[in-house]
Structure 1
Amino acid sequence: MNGTPSPPARPAPDLWEELVTAALLGTERRTPPVSAPGREAPVALLDAAAEATVRRRAGLRPASLPAARRPEPAPDDPRPALPAAAARRLATLLADRPGAGVGRRGTAPDLMELLPQWLATANAHGYAAPAHLLPALLDAARGRTDLRPAALRFAGTRGLWLARLNPDWRFALRATPGGGSALPDSGDAEGTGRLWQEGLFAERVALLSALRARDPRAARELLASTWATERAEDRLMFLDSLRTGLGPDDEPFLEQALGDRSRNVRATAAELLSALPGSALAARMAARAGSCVAVDHTFGTPTLVVEAPHECDAGMERDGVVAKAPAGRGERSWWLGQLVEAAPLGAWPARLGGRTPEQIVALPVADDWQGELHAAWCRAAVRQRDAAWARALLGSPSAPEAGGPGAVSLAERAKLLATLGAGDRAEWVAGFIAVHGLSEAFQLLGVCAVPWAPPLGRAVVDALNIARDAGSYPWSFSGVMGLAERCLDPAEAGRLDALLAVPDEPEDASPGAGGYWAEAFQRLVTTLRLRAAMTEELAARPPGEATPAPPCGSPPAQA
């Protein structure tokens, strides 16, 4: 045969069908088409099926498609690598999946809820993401939009490179200017102009936002150069970027935008101008609102009287007042609320007899206008970031129903608290909890800086302890307990050891409640100690390498 090997024997075309038939009928009723002496029929059938499967797969012709172009190598990431222990911890956090522990959690920490804080701390240290964990990191960010900013920052350019290869991760390209392409340098006027004229909408928004952050005047001039030719929906998005670095120099451009043909653009321009206390629009709104509110001394005690507008004229509409009231809302009260909200809060003391915000808020209001007036002042304090008015409207945390006269809802109180400094927020919420407990504190705790200040942390733990002693189940406090796991200072773990034992249950206690509380406190302590370990792991550095401080001003993770 001249040494030429013979090709392997090919099975008959119907061999596979015969194997399938023998398997379905059973080897006792149908002898396998291929058998070997001394072997049991079932074993021979399986061996024959395995061999036929390999042949069938090997015999497939490749698809007649052109070969794909090999992708460019991933760019280098110059950031320092994670410490080994921190990399192992990240793998553990990413392996945890939402819903994996359906039912009672027991004492095990919720690892996915710790991932945002881990990412924030890793980014503060400036670490690079391990390449082998990038797919799991992108999968986690795909499932949770709240993770995306920190996860994509941590993933860096390699994460974007990888996202281009998998359609499931396209969100990373949409969330990054130009899908990861770099924006022009600050001195590249030609590149900036070309991208602004020719770039995709997302690239132009990103360019304008980045330019606004470093040079507000240049960003405003760039926007003005094409303003007249932009689509209405694009003008609205571009105008929103002026919130960054908003200042008096923006007033002429915003005044011009008040005449825009789009109602939404006009409303946004008016909102931005009302945030500039010295703007002409703010002065016009102050005059209108001031003409509606006055102090009347004929009631025996000074009282605020309100005369709401009787019409919404063209000037009011041009300045952003929406004429048509929502269903169920009176027109006059609707117009009044908009005027007061847009008027600079600094104008009210002079208008109302030189009184301070606290004194103004304390004045009685005639004819049931108090709710409308104070609610508008609440919105104005939030819009103008006025801490003095926010404190006056919040009132004392120990007041009945836990709020000042303008704090008509927990949501509004939370917004007012957000205008205060971190220390003032923590102090007010701690006072609220000490008097009113935890039943309404969840929204308020959500605006407090992490980790919670010691007085706030102690107030939360004390309130949980009181709830435990009351003998009820801990289910009603699961939201607060979850916040405590993420936000309580890990240094507080030692104070909780006394709460780990199952307490003696009073006669009127819910059956088994003490055991559930002990379990919840054990989980809290375990989570706090895990957070402390995570922080230590991320702070570790190889021997001989200096430990850099986190970037100046890097905020801690928020709840």
Structure 2
Amino acid sequence: MTRTTTPTSPATPTPTAPAPWSDLVSAALLGTERRTPPVAARPAQTAAAALLDAAAVSTVRRRAALRPAPAGERPAPAPADPRPPLPPAARRRLSLLLADRGGNGGGSRRGTAPDLTELLPQWLAAAGTYGYRAPEALLPALLDAARARTDLRPAALALAGPRALWLARLNDEWKFALRGTGGPSALPGDDDPEAVRRRWEEGLFAERVALLTALRRHDPAAGLALLTTTWSTERAEDRLMFLDSLREDLATGDEPFLEQALSDRSRNVRATAAELLSALPGSALAARMAQRAHTCIGLDRTAGAPVIAVEAPHECDMGMQRDGVAPKPPSGRGERSWWLSQLVEATPLDGWHARFGGRDAAAIVALPVGDDWRTELHDAWCRAAVRQRNADWARALLGAPAAPSQAAEVTPAGSSRDLTKLLTVLPEDERARWVAEFIAAHGLSEAFRMLGVCAVPWAEPLGGAVVDALDIARDAGSYPWSFSGVMGLAERCLDPAAADRLDMLTAVTDEPEGASPGSGGYWSEAFQRLVGTLRLRATMRREFTPPPAGDTTGPGADLDTAAAAATPGGATPGPRVP
């Protein structure tokens, strides 16, 4: 009796679902004549060939530790980026900077090589002014760099463009790019108010903040109207962020909305609304605060020479609290002085001129203050000058930078004033001159934060003042690592054109008596690194300009020279990235 074997046929998975490995093994052991392979064969393909193909794919999956899963839909093609590509030299430079973003290691001695980690932000900022797009092959590395350093994200995402957002939707590690899309480019078309409304009501929180900011820059009244449509239903933390986005383009038309926000159920929202209203000198809140502050502060002429008399408030009533005065002081602070400082900070500075007999800001600041209220009063005026962006008062409160006692005068013991914030109120050129004179008179120890708010590159005489102070510190035998922060700022902020005249500082000098051992060599390395970094920055800037057709000696030819200067001993680094 002949026995007939009928091939068994397990349930064949769908074409998109991979077969289990055990089923593939069973079909292979029994043979395709006895066991139908659990895979779909292509046209004109034998069952055995289909089985082998499926086994090969499954083997790769197993070696990659990838779970079998149905094939997903192919993503839509990346959007086009119409911006011009980077010139070849600039493209190679970006590749080198991204490859070296690990820095110079954790050693305490940096040597003479420029810090490429710190040059990447400068490169990105410069690239943003030319309107180039990032090379597609470097987008993953650029997104990785932006993920690791939040300070790079705005410039990196601007350079990466829409294709970076396309990639971010495919990789969870780059999701930050979807949250960080802001600025005017986030505003839909002017003729599509429905798109604005839909994004406002349905978008992610960061997208809504970006939309509100962009709309406020375009049309402040329209932005405020959009905010009011959902204000009452927003969470307290979201209301606070939305309210803070009004700060940049604050206008008198915002006053009614902010007055209503003074009664918000969130204390932080009320405080922010009061701060914004106090920055509007013509607001009703500013007038109320001025009336309270002027009641507490005035001239006392009974002692002969005019003296500012201060009588701090004796209570913080409900009206003061509604206008943003916090009733409970910080630890170690008296209640009355706390209330007074908040009143003065929120009072329009222009109103003090009439209160003090028509005196200008400098004359008012020069007046003596009775009963040891001077520091408290001047600190509050400093904060008011910053909040109201009043350059006259900032100038008066800063005083003359070169005065022998100025360093102690502008920041007396117990003071909470911030000179750096005051400097930001001054025009950029005046700010740089003030800091240069301060450094020339008092050195670098008190000027580090001031340097951070000066425009880059440092204009003269600021750049010269910093270099002179560093040279003086070297000649005095000071510890060079004590000035590493300032030296790092100089590498990023000095004008690259200063490199040639700084060459003389790179030589190793004799160490003065009592100097730190080996300080001469350290200082020489620091100045060599400074000069090398400045020259590398100049080369980077030239690389953004494409060379004329057929020119092989243009900016791209500088790359090898600059790269050699960027490595210890002048050795050229590894092979170029094409």
TM-score between both structures, scaled by the size of structure 1: 0.84
2:439 alignment counterpart: 433
**In 1, Cα distance between equivalents of 2:517 and 2:411:** 38
Q: In 1, distance between residues paired with 2:423 and 2:57?
A: 71
Structure 1 segment 12-161 matched on structure 2, within 5 A:
57=59, 63-103=67-107, 104-161=109-166
- Retained in 2: the 8 A contact 1:382–1:419? yes
Question: Counterpart in 1 of 2:176?
Answer: 171
The offset of 1:504, in angstroms, is 2.2
Question: Deviation of residue 364 (structure 1)?
Answer: 1.1
The answer for the alignment partner of 2:490 in structure 1 is 484
Corresponding residue SS for 1:304: strand
Question: Would the alpha carbon gap of residues 472 and 199 (structure 1) be closer, same or farther in structure 2, given more than 3 Å must change?
Answer: closer
Letter in 2 for 1:349: H
Find the counterpart in structure 1 of residue 287 from structure 2: 283
User: Do the aligned partners of residues 533 and 60 (structure 1) sit closer, same or farther apart at CA in structure 2, a change above 3 Å counting?
Assistant: closer
**Cα distance, 1:366–1:55 mapped onto 2, change above 3 Å:** closer
SS at match of 1:454: coil
Matched, 1:472 2:483: no
CA distance in structure 2 between the partners assigned to 1:414 and 1:455 by the alignment = 19
Query: Tell me, what secondary structure is at the counterpart of 1:373?
Result: helix
Amino acid at match of 1:208: L
Deviation digits for residues 362-409 of structure 1, max 9, x if unmatched?
111111111111110010000001111001111111234534855456
Q: Given the superposition, is the C-alpha separation of residues 412 and 142 from structure 1 closer, same or farther in structure 2, using an over 3 Å criterion?
A: same
Alignment of structure 1 residues 235-246 onto 2, 5 Å: 235-246=239-250
Which deviates further from its counterpart, 424-433 or 241-250?
241-250
Please list the CA deviations of residues 445-486 of structure 1 after superposition, one character each: whole Å capped at 9, or x if unmatched: 000000001200000111111111112231111000000000
* AA matched with 1:132: A
User: Residue 225 of structure 1: which of 217, 225, 229 is its match?
Assistant: 229
Contact map agreement 2:85 2:134 (CA 8 A) in 1: yes
Q: Give, in whole Å, the separation in 1 of the partners of 2:62 and 2:244.
A: 57
Tell me the CA shift for residue 56 of structure 1: 11
Change over 3 Å in CA distance of 1:418–1:126 after alignment to 2: same
Q: Deviations over 1:280-312 (max 9, x none)?
A: 111111111111111112233211111000001
SS in 2 for 1:102: coil
Deviation at 1:270, TM superposition (A): 0.8
Q: RMSD over aligned Cα, in angstroms?
A: 2.4
- Within 2, Cα distance between the matches of 1:148 and 1:489? 25
**More displaced 10-residue stretch of structure 1: 138-147 or 229-238:** 229-238
> What amino acid maps onto 2:229 in structure 1?
S
Alignment of 1:397 onto 2:385: no
Identity %: 70
For 1:410 and 1:310, the matched residues in 2 are separated by 23
Question: Is the Cα contact below 8 Å between 2:299 and 2:308 reproduced in 1?
Answer: yes
Counterparts of 1:269-348 in structure 2, within 5 Å, are 269-348=273-352
Give the drift of 1:164: 1.6
AA of the residue aligned to 1:439: S
Indicate the SS of the match to 2:544: helix
Q: Match for residue 213 of structure 2? A: 209
Structure 1 residue 423 displacement after superposition: 0.4
Shift in CA distance, 406/360, structure 1 to aligned 2, threshold 3 Å: farther
CA change 1:364–1:199 in 2 (3 A) is same
Residues 123 and 268 (structure 1), Cα distance of their counterparts in 2 relative to 1, 3 Å cut: same
Partner of 2:528: 522
Supply the AA of the counterpart residue of 2:445: S
Gap runs ≥5 in structure 1? 1-12, 14-53, 546-559
TM-score (norm 2): 0.81
| Structure 1 residues 126 and 383: alpha-carbon distance in aligned structure 2, compared to 1, 3 A threshold | same
- State the AA in 2 paired with 1:529: R
Q: Distance in 2 between matches of 1:463 and 1:192?
A: 54
Question: Per the alignment, in what secondary structure is the counterpart of residue 396 of structure 1?
Answer: coil
The answer to which of 193-202 and 146-155 deviates more is 193-202
Counterpart of 2:259 in structure 1 is 255
1:153 deviates by 0.8
**Residue 167 of structure 2 aligns with which residue?**
162
State the distance in 1 between where 2:294 and 2:408 align.
22
Shift of 1:99: 4.8
Matches within 5 A, 1:526-537: 526-537=532-543
Give distance in 2, aligned partners of 1:228 and 1:55. 56
CA distance in 1, matches of 2:317, 2:416: 34
CA positional deviation for 1:216: 0.5
